[in-house]
Amino acid sequence: MPTASVNGISLNYQVKGTGQLVVLIMGTGSPGRVWGLHQVPALVSAGYRVCTFDNRGIAPSTESANGMQISDLVADTAGLITHLNEGPAFVAGTSMGARVAQELALARPELVRKAVFMAGHGRLDQFQKTLSLGEHELDASGVTLPAKYEAALTAVMNLSPATLADPRSAADWLDLFEFTGGAVSPGIRAQRKMDHDFNRVEAYRAIRVPCLSIGFADDRMIPPYLSREVADVIPGGVYTEIPDAGHFGYLEQPDAVNKALIDYFAS
């Protein structure tokens, strides 16, 4: 995969397809290649040129283990779009990546044709703040959870009860989480340590880029009312909710998510 030198760091990225550019921004702790399971093939088939990349904190992009802010990630994404010389681009992100897309639409509207926020949010409620602080304490402690227990926690926090109620799906997901769990890298720890005591809801009233906010009905990490709140304050903002989907809704319900993306970009 090629790398781009932007904003003082190196970003690992990949581009597939032809047509208008779509940039996909991943959430905390995950590499850009996750988009390749479902979203990239669908978007390429629909006639788009799709860029995925590893946010700072995710090797082989610069890990920035000493710390980062959301503004750094926004500047990274802006730098990558400029590097590709194909803006304005369609932009979509999930969770932390949705925050990046929201702030990019606000700060650099000339780079954004339309934006989609999956599990977007302008603030965190008390549960998410407490969960984040607990995660920081766990990282600092050096404690490693038993693999099966960590897999079960990951599943219950990120998947819909509908998925976990299906024995085959539950087994597949739990096996995946057990296999991919383990030690957290310094870069991911730096992503997790970013400020969680923020409230940008009122600021988003100034966004003028066309925006779609997608909530996942069973999302425990970013409950859908926070995603609806973002759409409600953006002039002309649109909200849609995907049923039977948790925080990983783009993986649980890819057909519904892909349809929402493609229909909105084409509208």
Contact 117, 96 (CB under 8 A): no
Is residue 1's pLDDT more than 90?
no
Least confident of 1-15, 58-72, 155-169, 178-192: 178-192
List the domains of the chain with CATH numbers: 3-125+198-266 (3.40.50.1820), 127-186 (no CATH)
Residues serving a catalytic function are: 95, 219, 247
What pLDDT is attached to residue 135? 87
d(CA 244, CA 217): 6
Residue of 217, 254, 266 lying closest to 239 (CA atoms): 217
Is residue 122's pLDDT more than 90?
yes
Is residue 181's pLDDT more than 90?
no
Is the pTM here over 0.85, yes or no?
A: yes
